Amino acid sequence: MKKLLTAAVVLLALVGVLLLSLPTILHKAGLHPEYNGPTAELPGKHALIITTSHGVLAAPGETEGPATGVMASELTHPYYTFLDGGMEVDVASIQGGEIPIDPQTLKFMIKSPEDERYLNDAIAQAKVKNSIPIAGVDIEQYDIVFISGGWGAAYDLAQSPLLAAKVSESYYGDKAAVIGGVCHGLLGLVNARDREGKLLIAGRRMTGVTDKQIKELGIELTPLHPETELRKAGVVFESQTAFRDMFATHVSVDDEQRFVTGQNQNSGLETAHTMMRILSERD
């Protein structure tokens, strides 16, 4: 009996050590890699982050399911990158008001340092709670437009004609904004049109979350999948793979250097820094 009790205690201790080590293990495997590339300072410039307003993970037409929304890091990584680079940063969503943040993405094993910073930042939290509705956004005042992902984005970004129009307006605006985002956020680009009525992103090199990653995660009930929809829109789709694509990352810049897109939740820091670098090199 004493031996069994000792074995049980040892086993529980090992499980405890494993759980405490899980964030480090996932990070080493590729989740939320650190960014060590070039940086830029852009005081006086303005960035807009756009997110989903949809907070339920369910089959299309259904209204009940687990809570979802924007993936935390896909909001916090660009937000603090832009902010720390001296930019003014606003936050918008499809409907405005409080943005749903997927609670799964704030669990201790996934939570990034930027997520932790957000949880202690009253100003950022106020922006997320009182986000600007996309209908109220003066898109031409922004030098950078970043569209965040998360499962919720599959339900309302591509489905918003107003968002598509805002993307086109930003592209043709006087500031010639650098436009992009990560993961499911790229669904916000697929219906934007050029002045001839053709799809704005057709023929451009882009990336987004892969069909492989969605299949591996077992969440295929969402109405739209970025790789599929980007390919339909005529983009030259790029991506990297890994033993599981949730540990891969890739950032793509189109030849015109107007669109910067990140593959998934691991790509937010590099995508945001790349957008800032491109903007800084114009001046």
Within-domain flag for 168 = yes
CB-CB contact of 227 with 186 (8 Å): no
CB-CB contact of 265 with 32 (8 Å): yes
Residue 18 has pLDDT above 60, yes or no: no
- The arithmetic mean of pLDDT across residues 238-247, rounded, is 96
Within-domain flag for 174 = yes
pLDDT band, residue 8 (cuts 50/70/90): low
Tokens describing residue 84: 């720390």
Tokens describing residue 61: 């037409």
The string of pLDDT tens digits covering residues 33-44 is: 999 999 999 999
- Residue 22's pLDDT is 85
User: What Rg value do the Cα atoms of the chain yield, rounded?
Assistant: 19
Residue 221 CB neighbour total at 10 angstroms: 13
Beta bridge partners of 210: none
Strand duo 251-253 + 259-262: pairing: antiparallel
Q: What is the C-alpha to C-alpha distance for residues 125 and 98, in angstroms, rounded to an integer? A: 9
Residue for token digits 């107007």? Answer: 258
Residue 97 has pLDDT above 60, yes or no: yes
- Which positions ≥6 away from 91 have C-beta within 8 Å? 48, 49, 51, 75, 79, 99, 127, 128, 131, 132
**pTM score, two decimals?**
0.94
Within-domain flag for 237 = yes
Within-domain flag for 108 = yes
pLDDT band, residue 61 (cuts 50/70/90): confident
The total domain count for the chain is 1
CATH code of 263's domain: 3.40.50.880
Run of H or E residues at 49:
strand 46-51
Residue 205 buriedness (CB in 10 A; 0-12 / 13-18 / 19+): middle
Residue 279 has pLDDT above 60, yes or no: yes
Within-domain flag for 35 = no
Within-domain flag for 24 = no
Averaged pLDDT of the chain: 94
| Structural domain of 154 | 43-282
pLDDT band, residue 167 (cuts 50/70/90): very high
Within-domain flag for 32 = no
Tokens describing residue 164: 């598509």
Strand duo 46-51 + 88-93: pairing: parallel
Measure Cα distances from 2 to 11, 15, 16, 48, 124 in Å. 14, 20, 21, 62, 53
Within-domain flag for 218 = yes
Residue for token digits 């250097």? Answer: 257
- The arithmetic mean of pLDDT across residues 252-281, rounded, is 98
